[in-house]
Structure 1
Amino acid sequence: MDLTVEHFEDVHLHAASVHAWEQTYSQLSPGLVRSSLCQIEGSRFQFFRERVNQRLVQHGQAPRDRVCFALPLSWPGSACLQGREADDSSIFILGGGDEFLFHMPQGLDLLSITFDRETFMQTLDESPWSGDSRQWLRQPVLRLPERRLAQARQRLLQLLGRSIEDVQGAVQGLAEEELERDLLEELICLVADPEFDRDQRHASSPGSYIVEKCHQMTLNAPQVAPSVIDLCERLRISRRTVQNSFRAVTQTTPVNYIRCIRLNGVRRELLGSQPGELSIGDAAGRWGFYHLSHFAADYQALFGELPSQTRRAGGTSGSRRAAA
């Protein structure tokens, strides 16, 4: 097994450090980032805990040939995955290769486990609950009994702590097999609880659909930011509907959301290039910012630093790592 423990001051560096996940994180709430990532990886599973002090939207693709689960350890606010609203009794499920959009509340503490799909399905089929369990794998958000979910969180945290000790103590081989078995058993038993409603269905909310369309429009044409009027005309809805949708899903206005997505795009451009390769003005122009003084002020308000202070490729990474 491999263990990495990292601390970050930038959500983009954090996102790039989650192994095997093709994803971007965009910061929505203003202020300096404080985040941590603890990852344990075996040959057929990945077990990690991430904590971020800012509100984010994650966009990307789950690892192929995997089954992915996530359990919030704390629930400081509203969240939405694949258009489904979630609360403190929810867990998240993604299939391998699924594209996802996840609106995370500020200060979320999340445990995630991914399994090799073939291994997981074989273990599920060998369990007493295989008959009706495959259907819930297609549901991105499942609500479980609060008592049972609290027990699962506690046991998973104990497994994480024990596994860190095993890796640091150079206990390999058998420890990896035991951890994989324990994680499989915990997740399969969790959704096999007799109180779990296997018939639950959670439809995508209209508000999340509106936000997702806006998100895609912004990424598809970054140099021309969509306006609220554009959204109203494209989706044939009222201005009030747009405003209310963004408030419910993102806790901010559509104008600020679009601005944040574009500012995060510039930041990724800067982090991934050297000053001689890409100027700040050119990076800003790629995302539709042409008034540099206004851009710099907005950038500083969101990230807590000027664009000229952002560490470029080849500089200090903005993270601290301990590996075993």
Structure 2
Amino acid sequence: MVLSATPAIQDSAASLFQASSTDVDEHCAALGRWRLSYDQISAGAFKGSFTQLSLPRLDVFREITSQQVRQYGQLGADSFGIGLPWDGDGELNCNGTTASGAHVLASIDAEIDMCTPKAFELRGVVASTVLIAELAARLDIELPRTVWHHLQVIEMAEAPVARLRAHLAAIQATITTAPEIFDDPAARQALEDALLVEIMDMLPTARPGHPGRSAVARRRTVDRARELMHGSGDRSLSLLEVCKAVGASPRKLGYCFQDVLGTSPMHYWRAMRLNRVRRDLKRAGDIATSVYDIAVQHGFWHFSQFSLDYKRHFSELPSETLRRARRAA
């Protein structure tokens, strides 16, 4: 395939952005125009890095996160995204579907909600929805409707996926060894065309995953439980209240969470509440409040156990988080 129909563009210099962080919120803030939020699910010190090469028509990214993370929000207005799971200690879960092999993550103007495993690396390409739609129309390619407005795990032909993977590996190697190559307008044009060729070759082969009826039912149960957990506002629901609301026993809810998110409902809900406490502590630098007050607000009544859980999860005591916030205020 050739891109003879590609609209003419006004070239501009490439820009390279690289950031690393030991805090999941700081890592998320470095994602630029991506309107995403992250919650750290697994316990332990967080390390993350984000690299983005911005070309005239495309952004090429590489993201690494050391802990299991829930990612939610939106990739950005008018955004088409293709992501390739690169590495990780476990499976990526997206809407009850796991991604592996020739599976890719694809979205067009989509809401994103997925759980990534520990030591996870994702590489991919983001472009304007208008650009992709114009190219698809000129090349008589029908865009897969399933990726509009919802991030989806899509199975695509192995050959173009493998070629896109090879391009992304070469880009990262060039960033490491000779980033000045991207200063050449001809090199930028050739790179963009090469990436767009593979994306246009991949799209006609897209086959969305179709989980069975039981998998759909488990996903709905988890979605309802998470909706209750995240929508409870200042009052922290108990797991018993969640089970009663969704009509599932603790055992059944546990099976559903393990299948869809790769973790237990108790661990997930505790992690979400610990993340809320941490954010409130960061915002309490100039407020006369205590760690205990914030912990109780999020349902942690056993303070010594809460302190142990917090330190295990974030590798620091809650008092250290509050002290650092007050120093910065």
CA separation of 1:168/1:282 partners in 2, compared to 1, >3 Å: closer, same or farther? farther
> Match of 2:119, SS?
coil
Q: CA deviation at 1:42?
A: 3.4
2:278 aligns with 267
Residue 287 of structure 2 is aligned to residue 277 of structure 1: yes
Residue 256 of structure 2 is aligned to residue 253 of structure 1: no
Aligned equivalents of 1:286, 1:175: Cα separation in 2: 55
Residue 57 of structure 2 is aligned to residue 47 of structure 1: no
Q: CA deviation at 1:147?
A: 5.4
Q: Give RMSD over aligned pairs.
A: 2.8
CA separation of 1:242/1:136 partners in 2, compared to 1, >3 Å: closer, same or farther? closer
Q: CA deviation at 1:14?
A: 0.9
User: 1:87-166, aligned counterparts within 5 Å?
Assistant: 87-96=100-109, 98-127=110-139, 130=141, 132-135=142-145, 137-138=147-148, 140-146=152-158, 148-162=160-174
2:31 aligns with 18
Q: Which runs of 5+ in 2 are unaligned?
A: 1-13
Aligned equivalents of 2:208, 2:99: Cα separation in 1: 17
Q: Does the CA-based 8 Å contact 1:82-1:100 persist in structure 2?
A: no
Structure 1 counterpart of 2:273, which letter? R
Q: CA deviation at 1:315?
A: 4.5
**What percent of counterpart residues are identical?**
24
> Match of 2:325, SS?
coil
Q: CA deviation at 1:88?
A: 3.1
Q: Does the CA-based 8 Å contact 1:45-1:113 persist in structure 2?
A: yes
Q: CA deviation at 1:71?
A: 0.5
1:231 aligns with 242
Structure 1 counterpart of 2:74, which letter? Q
CA separation of 1:296/1:94 partners in 2, compared to 1, >3 Å: closer, same or farther? same
> Match of 1:261, SS?
helix
How big is each residue's C-alpha offset from its partner over 1:264-320, in whole Å with a ceiling of 9 and x where there is no partner? 12222333x35223643454344333544332221111111111223438759xxxx
Q: Which runs of 5+ in 1 are unaligned?
A: 317-324
CA separation of 1:224/1:181 partners in 2, compared to 1, >3 Å: closer, same or farther? same
Q: Does the CA-based 8 Å contact 1:222-1:286 persist in structure 2?
A: no
- The structure richer in helix per residue is 2
2:193 aligns with 181
Aligned equivalents of 1:236, 1:48: Cα separation in 2: 41
Aligned equivalents of 1:112, 1:301: Cα separation in 2: 32
> Match of 1:49, SS?
strand
CA separation of 1:178/1:253 partners in 2, compared to 1, >3 Å: closer, same or farther? same
User: 1:25-44, aligned counterparts within 5 Å?
Assistant: 25-44=38-57
> Match of 1:312, SS?
helix
Q: 1:221 aligns with which of 226, 232, 235?
A: 232
Structure 1 counterpart of 2:115, which letter? H
How big is each residue's C-alpha offset from its partner over 1:181-229, in whole Å with a ceiling of 9 and x where there is no partner? 332222222334xxx4647645763333322222222221143333333
Q: Does the CA-based 8 Å contact 1:23-1:59 persist in structure 2?
A: yes
CA separation of 1:141/1:199 partners in 2, compared to 1, >3 Å: closer, same or farther? closer
Structure 2 counterpart of 1:233, which letter? K
CA separation of 1:44/1:267 partners in 2, compared to 1, >3 Å: closer, same or farther? farther
Aligned equivalents of 1:57, 1:157: Cα separation in 2: 25
Name whichever of 57-66 and 223-232 sits farther off. Answer: 223-232
Q: Does the CA-based 8 Å contact 2:49-2:63 persist in structure 1?
A: yes
1:321 aligns with none
Equivalences, count: 309
CA separation of 1:77/1:41 partners in 2, compared to 1, >3 Å: closer, same or farther? same
For CA contacts below 8 A with separation 6 or more, give which structure has more relative contact order: 1
Name whichever of 301-310 and 199-208 sits farther off. Answer: 199-208
Residue 308 of structure 2 is aligned to residue 297 of structure 1: yes
CA separation of 1:206/1:225 partners in 2, compared to 1, >3 Å: closer, same or farther? farther
CA separation of 1:172/1:270 partners in 2, compared to 1, >3 Å: closer, same or farther? farther
Aligned equivalents of 2:181, 2:57: Cα separation in 1: 21
Aligned equivalents of 1:278, 1:62: Cα separation in 2: 36
Q: Does the CA-based 8 Å contact 1:207-1:249 persist in structure 2?
A: yes
Q: CA deviation at 1:175?
A: 4.4
Aligned equivalents of 1:185, 1:120: Cα separation in 2: 11
> Match of 1:191, SS?
helix
